[in-house]
Amino acid sequence: MGNTPAKEARSGSSSFGTSNPFARDILLNSSEQGALTGLSRKKREKERERQRRKEEHLVNLIVDYTESVDGGYLAPYGNYKYNLTYKTQVVRDLIIERRLAPFYTPMEDFDEKWTDEELLENVKKLHLHAQCTVDDLLDEEEDPDEHKIYQSANAMRRREKKVFKKRLKEKAVQLQDEADDKFRRDKRTQASGIRTFAEIPSDDLLLKLYRGAQECPICFLYYPKNMNLTRCCVQPICTECLVQMKRLEPHVPHDENAGSNSDTPAEGDSETPSDPDDLISEPVKCPFCAVPDFGVIYAPLDFKSGIGGVAPAEYRDSGKTIEEEDENSEVELESPDLSDTKRLIKGQSGQNSQSRLSLPKGDAQHSRSFSSTSRRLSESDTPVHKRRGSLPPNAPGVVTIDTIRPDWEQRLLNARAKLARRSAAATALHASSLIVEGPQQTHSMAGSTLIADRRGSSNMRVLSRQEQAEIEQKMIDEALRLSLLDEEERKLKEKVKEKEKERETEHRKVQSDVRRK
Amino acid sequence: MSLPKRIIRETERLISDPVPGITAVPHSDNLRYFDVTIQGPESSPYENGKFKLELFLPDEYPMVAPKVRFLTKIYHPNIDRLGRICLDVLKNNWSPALQIRTILLSIQALLSSPNPDDPLANEVAEEWKNNNVHAIATAKEWTEKYAN
């Protein structure tokens, strides 16, 4: 497979000013998408829409160095190999709004004693994304249906879905490889002095970020110290670990006394609850202090680079003199007399953030166009990691797991509907086994009394009028119940859709906010 | 697939700074699979026993709990015949902030304080509640017999 149009469009525009970071194109052309056998037109459209969303999700997970926010990126590095199921668009927007730390490239090792040169050398060695091998793609188990001679339409569809998924994954690896290559190539080009790239972070930016890097207590990797902090117990957590957190699958409440031995035989009974409404889904608890409604808060840096700020290449630490100046540099306003003192106190960043030149342009933009929430955060110029009390989950600025995974309601609903269908099917099966006997019986009675007599002696018996009425009543009740369930499902779906729309509007707002600059 | 930094770091720390009474050594051919021993806690029926366990870190670790199982036969209301352990932090109360170290300490603590009201081995739990003296004697006997 050669370059896709999507790739061309993305790699063609290397400068931030001209590229549109939100341009997301279809990855696979229709011939690659599979024939979608045996589906009506409407269903096919729905299926295409589903595929389109999957593609968008995947493209959103590609780390592209030209899409940066304050020296980090909009997609995770890839510490976790398994499926990333969070809402990528929501997280990208939150990062652009500076309400969540960007996905910084992690460092496996870090030493406080490194000199600037050593630190830079180590930071510059980092890849945009963890290396993906073909092995990582071969994680899918074999489908037993594939060995059947006769294949049902459903089996065909499942296989198509699988092929689609596999192609998508291969494409993802390819795109990420290309993005990585481009990053390396551009860095080499720049190093050889042929030309400069606005999105390659300046040394100052790298030093400012990675000096005093902090270990994430969950993945044990080192990140710039502007990490997300838990709202409850003020513990740091990197964004990549944060997006891994999710609610447990819908389940029946765990009996506090009976414990939570979910995969022991003892719980087998409670795993099949009769009432779908018994199923619950609980908000994620804080991994550190187990307080429910886990959420984080993020205090952005005192400058902005990348989307909504200065080009990463143009970031200058106010204490340093500028050796080479770009013609459109916006950070030349620094006072040279500061530079010496700055050099001296360098390394103890954080304390002296006030004296640092805070890129007037970026700040002005910031306060103009970002929500009051993030403004409130950035206005407090106090060092980021100062101790503060815990915040309620609905406090402004708090990002909860449900914010980045808003589909939990839908999932709960689906699980309930599935259970309802299953129990309805069982009831129907049970009821129909009674009913079927009815007509057969009458038929045989009309035929010959002899047979009827013989039948009568077996356990097939004539249903009394009252019994028939009872069964009829049961069927009606069941039908009513099902239609009520359908109605409930419809309402919830509508609600979910509405939320989806709200998010969409919010997303557009963020986009236009950023574009306006 | 290379081993995540976290697993490497945890393994290093388990070796450089071991927990008293607990050892955990990864297999050389599978660094996610650990041979574990836990010393029976003092003033418990398991005192002086050395219990072997196996511990496996699934791909999703640390987002899901490690899988731990007793290999040594043990008479305990929360551990069944197959060595499976009923412990909340191994199931729904797992948190990615917990580690191999903390999980093994929790298991050691479970030996000190069995919880027969939340049983996994029902018969053992019944005995524990109804005939405590006899149950503890059996636990001691099993410890002497199997955990050496």
Taking an 8 Å cut-off on Cβ atoms, the answer to whether B118 and A257 are in contact is: yes
Total number of domains constituting chain A: 1
Contact, B41 vs B47, CB < 8 A?
Answer: yes
Query: How far apart, in whole angstroms, are the C-alpha atoms of residue A113 and residue B3?
Result: 27
Chain A residues closer than 8 Å to B95 by CB: 285, 287-288, 290
- What is the three-class DSSP state of A297? strand
Structure tokens at B91: 């199931």
Biggest CA pair distance of chain B: 52
Taking an 8 Å cut-off on Cβ atoms, the answer to whether A218 and B117 are in contact is: no
Whether the predicted pLDDT of B90 surpasses 90? yes
**In this structure, is residue A200 part of a structural domain?**
yes
**In this structure, is residue A352 part of a structural domain?**
no
Contact, B121 vs B84, CB < 8 A?
Answer: no
Taking an 8 Å cut-off on Cβ atoms, the answer to whether B60 and A82 are in contact is: yes
| pLDDT value, residue B44 | 93
Chain B residues closer than 8 Å to A235 by CB: 97
| pLDDT value, residue A277 | 79
For the purposes of burial, counting CB atoms within 10 Å of the CB of B89, is it exposed (0-12), middle (13-18) or buried (19 or more)?
Answer: middle
Instruction: Select the residue of A79, A133, A260 nearest B93 (Cβ to Cβ).
Output: A260
Residue A233 near chain B (CB below 8 Å) = no
pLDDT per position as a tens digit, A15-63: 333 333 344 445 555 545 555 656 678 888 888 888 888 888 888 999 9
User: Which stretches of A375-415 are assigned E, i.e. beta strand?
Assistant: 399-400
**In this structure, is residue A463 part of a structural domain?**
no
- Helix (H) or strand (E) run with residue B15 in it: helix B5-16
Query: How far apart, in whole angstroms, are the C-alpha atoms of residue A114 and residue A422?
Result: 62
Enzyme catalytic residues of B: 86
| pLDDT value, residue A462 | 65
Please give the average pLDDT of every successive group of 10 residues along chain A, which has 517 residues.
39 37 49 59 86 88 91 91 84 95 94 91 90 62 61 77 84 89 90 86 91 93 95 94 91 59 40 70 92 93 88 76 41 40 39 38 38 41 55 89 91 89 83 61 45 47 77 85 83 82 82 72
pTM of the predicted protein model: 0.71
Range of the domain at A173: 41-141+153-251+275-316+391-405
Contact, B75 vs B44, CB < 8 A?
Answer: no
For the purposes of burial, counting CB atoms within 10 Å of the CB of A187, is it exposed (0-12), middle (13-18) or buried (19 or more)?
Answer: middle
| pLDDT value, residue A383 | 43
Query: How far apart, in whole angstroms, are the C-alpha atoms of residue A249 and residue A279?
Result: 10
Whether the predicted pLDDT of B127 surpasses 80? yes
- Give me the helices (H) in A284-407, please: 338-345, 360-369, 372-379, 401-404
pLDDT per position as a tens digit, A196-235: 888 889 888 999 999 999 999 999 999 999 999 999 999 9
Taking an 8 Å cut-off on Cβ atoms, the answer to whether A82 and B92 are in contact is: no
| pLDDT value, residue A230 | 95
Taking an 8 Å cut-off on Cβ atoms, the answer to whether B84 and A220 are in contact is: no
To the nearest whole angstrom, how far is the Cα of A437 from the nearest Cα of chain B?
44
**In this structure, is residue A369 part of a structural domain?**
no
Q: Using CA of residue A30, residue A34, residue A37, residue A39, what is the dihedral sign?
A: negative
Taking an 8 Å cut-off on Cβ atoms, the answer to whether A245 and B1 are in contact is: no
Q: Using CA of residue B82, residue B88, residue B94, residue B95, what is the dihedral sign?
A: negative
Residue A141 near chain B (CB below 8 Å) = no
Taking an 8 Å cut-off on Cβ atoms, the answer to whether A218 and B6 are in contact is: yes
Query: How far apart, in whole angstroms, are the C-alpha atoms of residue B30 and residue B134?
Result: 41
Contact, B66 vs B126, CB < 8 A?
Answer: no
**In this structure, is residue A395 part of a structural domain?**
yes
Instruction: Select the residue of B59, B97, B122 nearest A218 (Cβ to Cβ).
Output: B97
State the pLDDT confidence band at B144, using cuts at 50, 70 and 90: very high
Average pLDDT over residues B31-58: 95
| pLDDT value, residue A6 | 41
Contact, A315 vs A326, CB < 8 A?
Answer: no
To the nearest whole angstrom, how far is the Cα of A232 from the nearest Cα of chain B?
15
Domain spanning B5-146, CATH architecture? Roll (3.10)
Taking an 8 Å cut-off on Cβ atoms, the answer to whether A219 and B4 are in contact is: yes
Instruction: Select the residue of A81, A219, A262 nearest B1 (Cβ to Cβ).
Output: A81
**In this structure, is residue A433 part of a structural domain?**
no
- Give me the helices (H) in A295-407, please: 338-345, 360-369, 372-379, 401-404
Average pLDDT over residues B114-143: 91
Query: How far apart, in whole angstroms, are the C-alpha atoms of residue A80 and residue A43?
Result: 34
Residue A266 near chain B (CB below 8 Å) = yes
To the nearest whole angstrom, how far is the Cα of B136 from the nearest Cα of chain A?
22
Cβ contacts from A onto B, under 8 A: 67
| pLDDT value, residue A249 | 86
Q: How crowded is residue A30: how many other Cβ atoms within 10 Å of its Cβ?
A: 11
**In this structure, is residue A209 part of a structural domain?**
yes
Structure tokens at A51: 């595929």
How many Cα atoms sit within 13 Å of B79 on the Cβ side? 19
Tell me the β-bridge partners of A230.
Answer: A296
Q: Which residues of B have a CB under 8 Å from any CB of A?
A: 1-2, 4-6, 9-10, 59-60, 62-63, 80, 84, 86, 88, 91-93, 95-97, 115, 117-118, 120, 122
**In this structure, is residue A9 part of a structural domain?**
no
Average pLDDT over residues B10-15: 93
